[in-house]
Amino acid sequence: MTISSRARSLFAVLSVIFFLLSSYASWTLSSRAISQSPFYLTLVISAITSFNLPILFGWIGFGVLGGAAITAGTIFFVLLLDFRMGYSAHQIVTITFLVTAAIGYLFARSKNRSDQLYILESERTEEEINILANEVKEKNKGIKALEGKLMKYSAFKDIAESLSTTLSTDAISSLFMERTPKILGKSGRVLLFLVDALRQELMLLASSVKNEAVIKAKKGDVFDHWILRHRKPLIIEDVKRDFRFPAEGAEAASGVFNSLIAAPLMSENKVIGILRVDSAQELAFSQDDLRLLDIISNLAAVAIQNSMFYARTQELAIRDGLTGLRVRRFFTESLRREVKRAARRREQLSLLMLDIDHFKEYNDKYGHAAGDNILQHLSQLITGILGEDDVAGRYGGEEIAILLWRKKKKDAIAQAEKIRKLVKDSPVILKDNVASVTVSIGIATFPEDALSEEEMIRIADQRLYKAKAEGRDRVCSA
């Protein structure tokens, strides 16, 4: 049983109003009833009896203390009224006041108990609501965290899908420069280093900085070298306070970055590179950021390793395994393409067909390994003096073809003589013996000598054999 505060206030007001009305009525009527007029005595008794109503309302409105005060005040007022009238019969009416007060008291106790139960229940309900609200809040946090993880995993999925469509190292590095800050949700400079397998030193492959000229440590700094040595991820919250590194490390970082995370790119238990993110702010990164970067670096390591394998496979497909020169198929395709371009642009190009003089004799005297050594030696000499756009290929056996782009007949003759003299003046060591090697060279020029790649090859080959027939160690261009 509960009563609202507004209802209790209403009962309290009614109690006061009825108390005043009953008091006024009984006091006024008592003045006329002093003459012991039966009619007025009856009215006085009725007025006194009406005090039961404010007593009951008082218990309801004011509670135990207020109800007791209203009851005591009423009894006192009736006794005062009797004393004024000299009439004690009204004291019997006060018994009804006590009965009404008892009823009010029982009601007040019941109401207080109900109020207490209501308060306890309200507190319990409020506590449960708070618990539920906290649970909802925690679940919302968990949902947001899961949404964040889902976004990151989705970003990883996008990277994996993008990597499946490209094998270019440049495209792969650009992808990681773009996606790494988005996955981490942090701004900063992203650097990707690769390890030079021969020199065992770091080389900057890519960065998120538009002007890479401003990057001073293109071979890495003390922090990158630490990762290269220890082969594990690194987080630095403040480079000025990290005592693992010498003071010059902080000085080098001054004005560029103050915190960083970096992870090695591992392949077959070897470090092939380093992926690093640094920031000008201190405490910019957390351990969660480092874990994410470690995952990204694993993806980068696999992608870059695959791109290297692909590039090597492509290189092996177009290069001769012994000499490193282009294979015959690739060379003839290049010649066909360049002849068409020269015809379209009305330019000239020349073809040299080169053959090692007395090659069989070297094989017979020193063995077939000696012939391989001569071919390797000759290939190194030729590639060392060719222009950037020129192409040299192993045409067959000891025969080498050289495409000279935009070279006229006289330029081709000069280049051929240069090669012939270089070979003659560069002896090769065969089984601890110094052997002098010479070559014969035939030349054909487009469009002066031929108008197609097949005709150029035929004419250059004819002139090669002419040079051999005329005594070898010479260049034949006509």
Catalytic residue among 388, 398, 454, 455: 398
CA–CA dist 292, 304 (Å, integer): 18
| Catalytic-residue membership of 282 | no
Q: Is 435 left (phi over 0), alpha (psi -120 to 50) or beta?
A: beta
Query: What one-letter code names the amino acid at 19?
Result: F
CA 456 → CA 417, 449, 453, 461, distances in Å?
19, 7, 5, 8
Question: Hey, what are 228's tokens?
Answer: 């290269």
CA–CA dist 53, 278 (Å, integer): 84
What is the distance of C-alpha 1 from the center of its chain? 61
Reported as type and span, the H/E element at residue 324 is: none
Strands of 368-447, DSSP E: 391-396, 399-405, 428-430, 433-435, 439-446
Q: Which of 334, 350, 346 is nearest to 449 (CA)?
A: 350
CA 444 → CA 131, 150, 409, 418, distances in Å?
92, 65, 8, 17
Catalytic residues: 398
